[in-house]
Amino acid sequence: MKKLVLLFFSFTFLFLACEKENNSTQNPSLPIPDLNYDGDNQSAPLLDAGNYEAAVRFTPAQTNKFAGKSLTAVDFFIQEVPPLCILLIYDKGTDDEPGDILFEQDFTTGIGANSWNHYEFPDPIPITGEDLWISILVEHDSSMRSIGCDSGPAVENGDWLWVDAENEWQTLRQHTNQAANINWNIRGFVGN
């Protein structure tokens, strides 16, 4: 009986320790995001050499309640630092493609590996209640795991991917034929 109790407590301790470790990628000093689909960082998909954009699309169903406010900051998780990393904010486009670029910021220097990266806009981006796309453009010289993701399952609009070689927007699930069922670790913060 003592062995069963000891085994139970050992299992419970290991489970709680693993749970805490999985949540440790969250930056507890940052506020809770207003716009996101993802959970805690789990990993990053392996993408071949080339140029990619990992994006999340927020539809009027998500943005309408923030109409008249502004996108004030963005968080994104980088596992391996790519040779090029650019934050892009897009305006309303179509259901499967963003519109005009509202904001662009090069993060090639200054981002951290295996960590959340936080950017506050010097001039917050007005939210109109229409579509808003938040994207991270990366360039890979070789296969690497740059853009972080959760463990899934994928939520609609949480895993958009631009593949330069294919010249089109698609979901990561479409790109990998359902092999990757995740959401990008990209988050938006809203303020006045």
Q: Which CATH number fits domain 34-191: 1.10.3470, 1.10.10, 2.30.30, 2.60.120?
A: 2.60.120
What whole-number distance in Å separates Cα of residue 16 and Cα of residue 18?
5
pLDDT for position 150: 97
Q: Which amino acid is at 138?
A: V
Among candidate residues 73, 55, 35, 78, the one with its CA nearest the CA of residue 183: 55
pLDDT for position 178: 74
The CA-atom distances, in angstroms, between 82 and each of 85, 108, 183 are 6, 8, 19
Among candidate residues 189, 67, 72, the one with its CA nearest the CA of residue 131: 67
Its pTM stands at: 0.84
pLDDT for position 130: 95
pLDDT for position 17: 29
pLDDT for position 177: 79
Give me the average pLDDT of each 10-residue run along the chain (192 residues): 38 30 44 92 95 98 96 97 97 95 93 95 96 98 97 96 94 86 97 92
Domain boundaries, the chain: 34-191
pLDDT for position 104: 97
